[in-house]
Amino acid sequence: MSRDNPSVVIYGTGGHSKVVYEILAIKQIPVAGFMDKDESRSGSMHNGRPYFGTHKLLGKKPYPFDAAVIAIGDNKLRKELTELFLEHSIPIISVVHPESIVSPGVHLGRGCCICAGAVVGPGTTLGEGVIINSGAVVDHDCELGDFTHVAPHTTLCGGVTCGKLTFIGAGATVIQEIKIGENTIIGAGSTVLSHIPSNVTAFGTPARLKVAVNKKS
């Protein structure tokens, strides 16, 4: 394995892992294999690559890879797995599709994924483990907290702030200078016209709070 062109393990075998695998292939980053929670598949193949097994492999050096991508859409699980890999001194890399547009001034945290057709504007800060999904627009001077997920074709106008572990559903629009709290869900297709607190679900046009709050992380 070359440290100049490190081989990567993809944790996850669902839909998001297919997206990550494609980005790595396009960028000619070698994929050593896959891992996920299914212990029974150890020793099998997935997408033509070895299936190494579960996180129980961690700690059993030498590893058959140099770095990892956590290809899990669930924010809390992605956070837990990222912390687990880092505890075992395994680097977590970011993946950026070449057909996305990312301003040179963007701060990109460790373990981010920016998918095809996404646009990330100047002055924007992405925390650790952020997903900007296909066709999403994150305009200038936005700030997205760790392990936030912006779903396909969402639009965040300039100066939007999202707290950590927040999910913005597909096709939602958040107008400029809005603040959305931590661990909050914005429903698909919603239009957010006012600030949204932490630990809630909001949906509709304009987006309104659901009575039940989300379980804190």
**Residues known to be catalytic:** 140
Alpha-carbon distance 129 to 109, whole Å? 7
CA angle 86, 119, 47 (to 5 degrees): 55
8 Å CB contact between 86 and 103: no
Q: At 30, is the secondary structure helix, strand, or coil?
A: coil
8 Å CB contact between 74 and 9: no
Tokens standing for 176?
A: 């400029």
8 Å CB contact between 153 and 136: yes
